[in-house]
Amino acid sequence: MKNQKINVGIVGLGGRGAVLSNILIDQADINVVAVCDVYEDRQLAIAEKIKSKTGHMPVCTSNYRDILSMELVDAIIISTGWKQHVQIMCEAMEAGIAVGCEVGGASIEECWRLVRTYEKTGTPAMMLENCCYGRDELMLSNIVRQGVFGEVVYCGGCYQHDLRESLANGHENRHYRLDEYLYRNRENYPTHALGPIAKLLNINRGNLMLTVTSSATKSAGLHEYIVKNKGEDCALSKAEISQGDIVTTTIKCAGGENIVLTLNTTLPCPYSRGLKVCGTKGMYNEDNMSIFLDDKHNQYHMEWKNHFGNIEKYRNVYDHSIWKKMHDDGMRGEHSDIDYLVLRAFIDSLKENHKMPIDVYDMAAWMSISALSEKSLLLGGIPVAAEDFTNGRWIKRDTAEYWQYELNC
Amino acid sequence: MKNQKINVGIVGLGGRGAVLSNILIDQADINVVAVCDVYEDRQLAIAEKIKSKTGHMPVCTSNYRDILSMELVDAIIISTGWKQHVQIMCEAMEAGIAVGCEVGGASIEECWRLVRTYEKTGTPAMMLENCCYGRDELMLSNIVRQGVFGEVVYCGGCYQHDLRESLANGHENRHYRLDEYLYRNRENYPTHALGPIAKLLNINRGNLMLTVTSSATKSAGLHEYIVKNKGEDCALSKAEISQGDIVTTTIKCAGGENIVLTLNTTLPCPYSRGLKVCGTKGMYNEDNMSIFLDDKHNQYHMEWKNHFGNIEKYRNVYDHSIWKKMHDDGMRGEHSDIDYLVLRAFIDSLKENHKMPIDVYDMAAWMSISALSEKSLLLGGIPVAAEDFTNGRWIKRDTAEYWQYELNC
């Protein structure tokens, strides 16, 4: 496919689908040939954009199987709700159509199905975890791989994002996440924090996640918000919310490292992925945008606050080549740039016939944390064993072979 | 004792003992009448200071029982190593001598012995947890009690303090903590982070800590430091270190809140108590010294970094009266001021016959976290049940009665 245009179908045209579509339309080596959503207005909005840009109307459908049966489709992008991800991915792989899929959680059975379908078909599939392409996350991968932090023993990460407004209006704005909060309690959105950390710790490539332990606070924030903003008589104000406000999840790794994830989505807070990386020679703390290096910063002690934001001083040295190349290509580091980068990683890996930089084993391992944290909570907060989706191959799989795209960029 | 001078003995004259002694010597209503340490040089150093200030030489001894048998002693300050705390406290209470004791952990049996000895003797005892008197911690107690953060559901705290140098020289500098790292693995220093949080959440006064779950990383930082700084041939370089570099401990409370403690003492890092308080109307994050309020800061989203340090804007409104009074008294907010405040809290509570602001139930609950986290780790990271040292009385004990000193200051 190296010098060909790739024919892409897009399945799911809500908030994320619209963002990804707009980027895909602009790629010179992509034809968007079909779009799919259960809502017709969404299909038409994107289709009109494509037509005005290319002169061709894409196929519009409310059934993704229409796209999977199109001979000319090379790849699909899935940006539906979480619940449909694995089913559509597996059907696409069976049809020999490459898949880039948005993030979310999945059941253990779904994760295994994903892995087995890939092993049976060999069809390329990648999770479009855009946060793996954040500027700081990429920079940290340079820093860690160059040994600047020594031996890394701990990584923390958050999905700290106040979703109260979109959840409270979930039944009106087609937001699919509300049911998650009404009926379930778990680390329901692990991959933004976990994805970049799993890469730093070489999970599935010499390292493995072994156990998952979760603890949840009571649920107070969403109910209070709904009562305040929709009134006490609103049906949702009377509903019981199952999801705790903050869920803390600790993951033990084969290499002796700990990963601590914090989900915080129903309280007022600034957006943060709260990345923290601690090693024997230094640490990084996203919450104050600082890097602390042994033998260099130790003397600051109580004056550390004067060094908030010192990460800017390290951009020149450690910015990742992927990020620099994007700037050379004329992009400017907007929020949507991480979407651009993750889509380019998928497209370029497909064209170059590289292994996908976030493959089905990563997807399965990362997505399974939702189910595992729910299990831990249901059992009173005991550690539960994580699954080894590589079936022992994690010991020999190495980063050089599997992360060709990123390491050689 | 209201208008009397209080006769004090000081037991343990290492680093902390020296700091506390220097403050005590300066208090107009205190006579330091005796000092005790196993090292004679330490006794003499303090005694000479006292003599040059007052003209009187205090009793110098290496046996604290000499002090407990002195008729004129009203109170002792204990700043020995952790292992002696409870034994000395109990003997002092039995002798009718009030006790202010430095911080540390203890076994469950010791915690019960402390509580039972207090219940039998009624002798006042307080933990000298200076971090409860930190400016931000005091300010937060105002903010939380005034409902500014709404319903608080989560508190996080760290003891993030690079102790590698003092540990690596532990066998030479009389530092008693090295054995903790060689032979044990646990949240070995919980109270700096937990004390202020327990106060915010009214633990033992309408709320209770229910379960404790810990997870530890491998141990890498201290060994690497010792090899680098003492050489590979040093005996300590060959020793196996049991203590993990970072221990994460999650505590579930009766009120539905979670407390997450992080111990981080053998890696390069800035000093931080990492306090984080999250409620339904706002949050505080020590790591970037920020306060985030609902309906006020929500619009900042991605621009949050511009508001690092905004806590300074709230000092005027929310600084605690204890802190303000100290400034009026001519103190200037130096680090040692939290030691001054905690000592004054002990002395003033004793003189006014108030309940101790950190009483034996608090001490037992806070100190027991060390033992409970060790148990959880030994059992593979399962939650273990915390002890209710109040024997059910936590339900009716209220803050107004038990925190008279702080609430009325």
Q: Are B38 and B48 in contact (CB under 8 A)?
A: no
Q: Summarize the confidence of residues B42-50 as an average pLDDT.
A: 96
State chain B's mean pLDDT as an integer. 93
How far apart (Å, rounded) are the C-alpha atoms in residues A401 and B315?
55
Best mutation target, B261, B262, B267, to test chain A (most A CBs within 10 A): B267
Which residue did the predictor score with more confidence, A403 or A103?
A103
Q: What band does B398 get if pLDDT is binned at 50, 70 and 90?
A: confident
Residues in A closer than 8 angstroms to B287, CB to CB, are 285, 287-288
Percentage of chain A modeled with pLDDT above 70: 95
User: pLDDT tens digit string along B283-325?
Assistant: 999 999 999 999 888 876 667 777 889 999 999 999 999 888 8
Least confident of A62-76, A287-301, B242-256, B278-292: A287-301
| Predicted TM-score of the model (pTM) | 0.96
Per-range mean pLDDT, top range of A241-250, A330-339, B317-326: A241-250
Question: Which pLDDT score is estimated for A172?
Answer: 62
User: pLDDT tens digit string along B220-276?
Assistant: 999 999 999 999 999 999 999 999 999 999 999 999 999 999 999 999 999 999 999
Chain B: residue nearest A334 by CA?
Answer: B302
Question: Which pLDDT score is estimated for B216?
Answer: 98
Identify which of A23, A217, A116, A208 has the alpha carbon closest to the alpha carbon of residue B276.
A217
CA angle, corner B293, sides to B292 and B295, nearest 5? 135
For residue A171, pLDDT beyond 90: no
Least confident of A125-129, A261-265, B304-308, B365-369: B304-308
Name the minimum distance, in Å, from the CA of A381 to any CA of chain B.
6
Q: How many CB atoms lie within 10 A of CB B157?
A: 28
Name the minimum distance, in Å, from the CA of B260 to any CA of chain A.
8
How far apart (Å, rounded) are the C-alpha atoms in residues A290 and A298?
13
Rounded to 5 degrees, φ, ψ at B349 are: -65, -40
Which residue did the predictor score with more confidence, B331 or A146?
A146
Percentage of chain B modeled with pLDDT above 70: 95
User: pLDDT tens digit string along A43-60?
Assistant: 999 999 999 999 999 999
Question: Which pLDDT score is estimated for A307?
Answer: 84
SS3 B267: coil
How far apart (Å, rounded) are the C-alpha atoms in residues B393 and A163?
39
The answer to whether A392 faces chain B, any CB pair under 8 Å, is: no
Cβ contact (<8 Å) for A287 and B288? yes
Cβ contact (<8 Å) for A252 and B300? no
Residue A93 has, within 13 A of its CA and on its CB side, a CA count of: 24
User: pLDDT tens digit string along B156-193?
Assistant: 999 999 999 989 987 665 667 898 999 999 999 999 99
Interface of A with B in 150-189 (CB under 8 A): 150-151, 153-154, 162
Distance of CA B342 to the CA centre of its chain: 10
Q: What band does A400 get if pLDDT is binned at 50, 70 and 90?
A: confident
Identify which of B377, B67, B235 has the alpha carbon closest to the alpha carbon of residue A211.
B377
Least confident of A183-197, A318-332, B157-171: A318-332
The answer to whether A406 faces chain B, any CB pair under 8 Å, is: no
For residue B337, pLDDT beyond 80: yes
Which structural domains are found in chain A, ordered by start? 6-129 (3.40.50.720), 132-320+360-408 (3.30.360.10)
Question: Which pLDDT score is estimated for A2?
Answer: 72
Question: Which pLDDT score is estimated for A248?
Answer: 98
How far apart (Å, rounded) are the C-alpha atoms in residues B242 and B248?
16
Scanning A2-107, the segments in alpha helix (DSSP H) are 15-25, 40-54, 64-68, 85-94
For residue B89, pLDDT beyond 60: yes
Residues in B closer than 8 angstroms to A250, CB to CB, are 213, 215, 248, 250, 381
Tokens at A84, concatenated: 């449909």
Question: Which pLDDT score is estimated for B302?
Answer: 63
